Chain A
Amino acid sequence: MTKYAHKNKGKPLFSRRFKSNLKAYLVLGIIAIFLGVPFYWMIATALRSPDAVLKLPPSWIPNPITFENFPKVFQEIPFARFIGNSFYLVFWNVIGQIFSTTCIAYGFSRFRFPGRKALFLVLLMTLMIPNTITLVPQFIMFARMGLINSYLPLILPAFTGSPYLIFLMRQYMMTIPLELDEAATLDGANRFQILVHVIMPLMVPALVLVTVFTFVEVWNDFLRPLVFLNDPSKFTVSIGLAFFQGTRFTAWEMLMAGSIMAMLPPAILFLITQKRLMGGIAMTAVKG
């Protein structure tokens, strides 16, 4: 990590840095506790056995603690297959989004063409139309093409760019100075080469954002895989978790155990990439 000049000017005394570190840890810790409480309950429920004796008032620490729910999730539903399916979908969606959002954001941020502003507004408008309303027309369309029960309806839209991510990429691209483009042009590069060799390396944080956000969105998407798939062997993790909720009964311990496990891949991805996320676009060019 780059060492910025510390906020407290002058020689960093041990006590001052220690005090401000302590303050930081305190604030972070308090927020962490607030945010972590629901997770505590999720974990506690996942560690409870389904026929734990129930007494009033309910105990906060499960007694006895059992880990049997976690492997049971894999036995009750084909969870491993669902995870594999979800990874497959995520992989293609991430590739599609990276490819399309960079090209499209490049077009919107670096080129002049008639109707650019209007088109951008139209792009934003697509975010304003609720998903549930376009679902049936979309379904009918894909059904006409015979694509129901395949992954294509869930992958193709990624290659045409998610409006939110295009917006995000465009904003980041607009922070990259045009002088770099001009310098490259003077060196004889065409537009595409500029995109690949000049812009994209500086966009790593934004690309990481696109990857993480796409991962999480596709991973947690419930309604679209449910609607476009018939074959249970193609179902995803989000659908699998919903199997634990019946009309009259919810298998809480299984649902929580499954949800916790389902949260691991995106969390690990974020943990690994969060440093690259925080690189900052200007970092590579800062002098002094």
Chain B
Amino acid sequence: MFKKKIVSLVVFLMIGTIVLTSCVSQVEPEVIRETEIVYVEGTPVVQYVEVTPGPKEETELGPDDVVTITWWGTERGKDTAETREIHFRLARAFEDSHPNTKVAVALFPSRAFATRVLTGIAAGQGPDIWYHYWSPDIATQGFLEDLTPYLERDAIDPEEMYFPIGDIRGKYDGKYYALPRDATAYVFVYNKEVFDAAGVEYPQPGWTIEDFREKAIAITDQENNVYGVSTIDDGWFQWHPFSFNLGVDFLSLDGTQVEGYMDTPEAINAMKFILDLEAVDQVAAPDGLADQFGYDYLSGQIGMFGVTSWEYLAFIEQVDFDYGVISPPSWEEGEESISWTDSYMFYMNKDSIYKERVWEFMKFLTGPEAAQIIADSNVWTPAIPEIWVESGWVDDPILGEVYAELQKPARVLNYERNQFYWDCVGGVWGVIMTGYIDEGKTDLDVIVPPLVQEAQACLDRNMASLED
């Protein structure tokens, strides 16, 4: 009767669901649906192109067979339209010169991007090429393609082609696992009006850390809310030229050792110097000015601050005071300061099917033609020195100084040397800092070594787990 009908209908639906959902065979989509440009008031928004995939094995591929490779990137938080546009432009420029390959571009939020990539790779559905900022030893995880054979075969020498940072940033154990997307360096900018108001001489090339400190003290005028430097936070030991220019390097160059580097008397001296800028000299802007708007120096109330080419555009557009640019100060008189440089890197998926095609795209993206497109777009600053010269950036006050910094011998940034840095070492700075400034725990000789020891033990433990 009615009940029986209902019951049998329900059972039928359930069986149908079981059959449908227990389908575990690999289902290959017939058509890859990717993005196409749709213009909304002149701004490219989304992009769709329907492309048929090629044969399963690369060896079956003929030179005229069209395949699609995937390229994943991230949004930058601002200028989202320009960011999308540069990706599409690069992809289309490549397709014009390589008609046998289509590039499907997808841009994700930068939050959880690594999660997205790794999850995709875990299931065999990762991107063919993407960019990120892992430390070089991520290569030990085994999902990156070794690019060295490709580079050798096509006679490309990254050391010659790119700024020093673009070369070493992707190298692990002598092999190349990544190539640079861009290159930037940190330069100091000083607010001429603040210096004039205090009657202090501008920083001169060849200035030292002591000069820096003296000038900061001289220009600080707390009552009028004028400060010598930006807020002091644990970033000063990491994403700041002082991470190299205080006479020490806090980690070994290969990122495996922290003991013997971060706990030496020189290192502790260096820490005291920075922390005293806040605790004793009181030249730093109070915490929080930057939080709401991103760039505290735009307020015009800070005397000296740092700018990289990543912030360059925003700075140029919004600055309303007279400024000068100078290389970071050095530790010793007469020495050149060590530059703080960085690059985002392109990685190739080891599980890619059409590796040759992906390599062609990688070559394109890290080559001069793409670099010119990138330079024209003002979204990133490419890693190839010649393009900087051709674009006339060498004569620009800020970019010219950045260029000079980029030419110097490079070091990988200390927090980008070890994939376990954030787990083991990163938090130590916060502990030291909060203790020193907020709680008056200034006997660093006693406080720091145990913390560093613990960090080293943590690093050793994690690195040991990498061994099979």
- Whether A252 pairs with B292 at a CB distance below 8 angstroms is yes
- Whether A145 pairs with B46 at a CB distance below 8 angstroms is no
Which B residues are CB-close (under 8 A) to A95?
none
A2 at interface by CB-CB < 8 Å: no
Interface residues of B in 71-116 (CB under 8 A from A): 74-78, 80-81, 106-112, 115-116
Which A residues are CB-close (under 8 A) to B107?
232
Which stretch from A26-34, A54-62, A201-209, A280-288 is at the chain B interface?
A: A54-62
* A34–chain B nearest beta-carbon distance, Å: 22
In the complex with contacts A226-B116, A227-B115, A242-B109 CB distance below 8 A: yes
Q: Binary interface profile of A, 55-75, with partner B (CB < 8 Å = 1, else 0)?
A: 110100000000000000001
Which A residues are CB-close (under 8 A) to B2?
190, 193
Interface residues of A in 236-252 (CB under 8 A from B): 239, 242-252
A8 at interface by CB-CB < 8 Å: no
Which B residues are CB-close (under 8 A) to A101?
none
- Whether A251 pairs with B77 at a CB distance below 8 angstroms is yes
A124 at interface by CB-CB < 8 Å: no
Which stretch from A110-118, A135-143, A267-275 is at the chain B interface?
A: A135-143
- Whether A75 pairs with B294 at a CB distance below 8 angstroms is no
* B12–chain A nearest beta-carbon distance, Å: 15
Q: How large is the interface on B (under 10, 10 to 19, 20 to 34, 35 or more residues)?
A: 35 or more
In the complex with contacts A146-B26, A146-B27, A226-B116, A249-B78 CB distance below 8 A: yes
Cα A191 to Cα B2 with chains together (Å): 11
A45 at interface by CB-CB < 8 Å: yes
In the complex with contacts A51-B318, A246-B110, A191-B80 CB distance below 8 A: no
* Number of A-B contacts defined by CB within 8 Å: 141
In the complex with contacts A51-B318, A139-B122, A145-B111 CB distance below 8 A: no
Which stretch from A10-18, A76-84, A172-180, A210-218 is at the chain B interface?
A: A76-84
Q: Quick one: which of B40, B109, B286 has the most chain A CB within 10 A?
A: B109
- Whether B111 pairs with A245 at a CB distance below 8 angstroms is yes
Which A residues are CB-close (under 8 A) to B289?
54, 56, 58
In the complex with contacts A245-B77, A246-B75, A56-B225 CB distance below 8 A: yes
> Residue A227 contacts which of B78, B119, B286 (CB distance < 8 angstroms)?
B119
The closest CB in chain A to the CB of B301 belongs to: A56
Which A residues are CB-close (under 8 A) to B40?
75, 78
A20 at interface by CB-CB < 8 Å: no
* A223–chain B nearest beta-carbon distance, Å: 6
Cα A139 to Cα B118 with chains together (Å): 11
* B235–chain A nearest beta-carbon distance, Å: 11
In the complex with contacts A75-B81, A232-B35, A243-B109, A54-B27 CB distance below 8 A: no
Which B residues are CB-close (under 8 A) to A56?
225, 285-286, 289, 299, 301
Cα A254 to Cα B109 with chains together (Å): 14
Which B residues are CB-close (under 8 A) to A52?
293
> Residue B46 contacts which of A223, A226, A232 (CB distance < 8 angstroms)?
A232
Which A residues are CB-close (under 8 A) to B149?
none
- Whether B293 pairs with A252 at a CB distance below 8 angstroms is yes
- Whether B112 pairs with A78 at a CB distance below 8 angstroms is no
Which A residues are CB-close (under 8 A) to B116?
226-227
- Whether A45 pairs with B292 at a CB distance below 8 angstroms is yes
- Whether B80 pairs with A144 at a CB distance below 8 angstroms is no
B55 at interface by CB-CB < 8 Å: no
In the complex with contacts A190-B3, A226-B112, A135-B119 CB distance below 8 A: yes
Q: What are 9 inter-chain pairs, A to B, with CB distance below 8 A?
A: A190-B3, A192-B6, A226-B108, A232-B106, A243-B80, A247-B110, A247-B133, A248-B77, A249-B294
Could you list which residues of chain B lie within 8 angstroms of chain A, going by C-beta atoms? 2-3, 6, 21, 23-29, 33-35, 40-41, 43, 45-46, 48, 70, 74-78, 80-81, 106-112, 115-116, 119-120, 122-125, 133, 225, 285-286, 289, 292-294, 296, 298-299, 301, 310-311, 314, 317-318
Could you list which residues of chain A lie within 8 angstroms of chain B, going by C-beta atoms? 45, 51-56, 58, 75-78, 81, 135-136, 139-140, 143-146, 148, 156, 190-193, 222-223, 226-227, 230-233, 239, 242-252, 254
